Amino acid sequence: MSYAGPDFDPPQPRRRRRRALTVAAAALVPGALLGWLMYEVMGGPGDKDASGNAAVRPSAAPTASTTSDDKPPGPTPTADSTADSTSAPAASGALKGKVVVIDPGHNPNNFQHTAEINRKVDIGTNWKECDTTGTSTNDGYTEAEFTLDLAHRLRTLLQKQGATVKFTQDGDRSWGPCVDERAEIGNEAHADAAVSLHADGAGAGQRGFHVILPGKVNAGAADTGPIVGPSRDLGERIAGSFVRVTGSAPSNYVGDGTGLVTREDLGGLNLSTVPKVFIECGNMRDSKDAALLTSGTWRQKAARGISEGIVSFLRG
């Protein structure tokens, strides 16, 4: 996510490396240790406090196809594509009859509509900006580009499992949608699972992924009580699969090494009535994470890790 706005934390101070690695090693399940060791070869220090953490849950690996080229398997967004990008499910598969909403964070055109995205919307606990522009790597690869590419890859994998997949946006809108509308799209679809895709914009040296879970909120239009439990289940399964498939480690700056963070200030989670999580796939401002995020091969692994977590959750 970007540096300021409704759906992310600003850069945070680092702690010493040794404590983060110790906590992470204790929290990760044995099936994820290989990924952790691979990450350690690449390096990554630090840690910071976060609330509501839990151990990463492993997930079974369902059958899923992958590609390793730098092109997304889905079509490039065009002006003629529909806003929710509803896709017909496969004829059969483990997820036949299931609906998954994918929420690619931000919008490539947001920067041209600052007045629109800066207007405040009600997220239950308070009022926050409609959306933000998102962040980017130091070389200019934007978060919005990353999330759309990852969304297309993820959609292809989920369709092969038989799921019906809907997008909140496909680069086909002039801006937005706002965070409250993003939640409403999942609600109206009666999604069995919803996942918002992001990449963080923290400081250099702050590395790794984290999954954001909804906290218990009951204020205004927000009532997350019914979804807190299933959303945590979804998030733990995605985190476990992400470690195993990508080889990336949980964040060294939020989550105390668990890869899980609970928040009560995100409209996309507060206003959801269906199980939903956010995933920050890495830090675009760190050169080592950026090298992964800009790799089509790695993005395919990321899509498979997220997909397998969703499949595990929906199959129970």
Please report the pLDDT score of residue 189 as a whole number: 98
The pLDDT confidence band at residue 311, using thresholds 50, 70 and 90, is very high
How many domains does the structure of the chain reveal? 1
| Nearest-angstrom CA–CA distance, 127 and 120 | 6
* pLDDT over 50 at 42, yes or no: no
For residue range 198-222, what is the model confidence (pLDDT) as tens digits? 999 999 999 999 999 999 999 999 9
For residue range 284-305, what is the model confidence (pLDDT) as tens digits? 999 999 999 999 999 999 999 9
User: What value does the mean pLDDT take over residues 53-69?
Assistant: 41
**222 within a domain of the structure (yes/no):** yes
**47 within a domain of the structure (yes/no):** yes
3-state secondary structure 175-230: CCCCHHHHHHHHHHCCCCEEEEEEEECCCCCCCCEEEEEECCCEECCEECHHHHHH
| CATH number of domain containing 250 | 3.40.630.40
**135 within a domain of the structure (yes/no):** yes
**139 within a domain of the structure (yes/no):** yes
Percent of residues, the chain, with pLDDT higher than 90: 70
The pLDDT confidence band at residue 17, using thresholds 50, 70 and 90, is very low
For residue range 132-171, what is the model confidence (pLDDT) as tens digits? 999 999 999 999 999 999 999 999 999 999 999 999 999 9
Pair of tokens at residue 100: 């998954």
Bridge partner residues of 194 (DSSP): 101, 276
User: What value does the mean pLDDT take over residues 248-275?
Assistant: 97
The pLDDT confidence band at residue 1, using thresholds 50, 70 and 90, is low
Please report the pLDDT score of residue 316 as a whole number: 87
| Nearest-angstrom CA–CA distance, 180 and 149 | 23
**118 within a domain of the structure (yes/no):** yes
Please report the pLDDT score of residue 266 as a whole number: 97
Min mean pLDDT across 33-47, 99-113, 223-237 is at 33-47
**7 within a domain of the structure (yes/no):** no
Percent of residues, the chain, with pLDDT higher than 70: 71
Please report the pLDDT score of residue 38 as a whole number: 41
CA 11 to chain centre: 18
Q: Which residues are catalytic?
A: 280
User: What value does the mean pLDDT take over residues 47-61?
Assistant: 39
* pLDDT over 80 at 46, yes or no: no
Question: What is the pTM assigned to this prediction?
Answer: 0.76
The pLDDT confidence band at residue 240, using thresholds 50, 70 and 90, is very high
Please report the pLDDT score of residue 137 as a whole number: 97
Pair of tokens at residue 22: 């110790």
User: What value does the mean pLDDT take over residues 272-288?
Assistant: 98
**216 within a domain of the structure (yes/no):** yes
Domain carrying residue 192:
17-69+81-315
DSSP-assigned letter for residue 90: P
Mean pLDDT value across the chain: 80
Residue whose structure tokens are 């080592």: 288
**43 within a domain of the structure (yes/no):** yes
CB atoms within 10 A of CB 96: 13
> 138: burial class by Cβ within 10 Å (0-12, 13-18, 19+)?
exposed
Min mean pLDDT across 26-30, 68-72, 128-132 is at 26-30
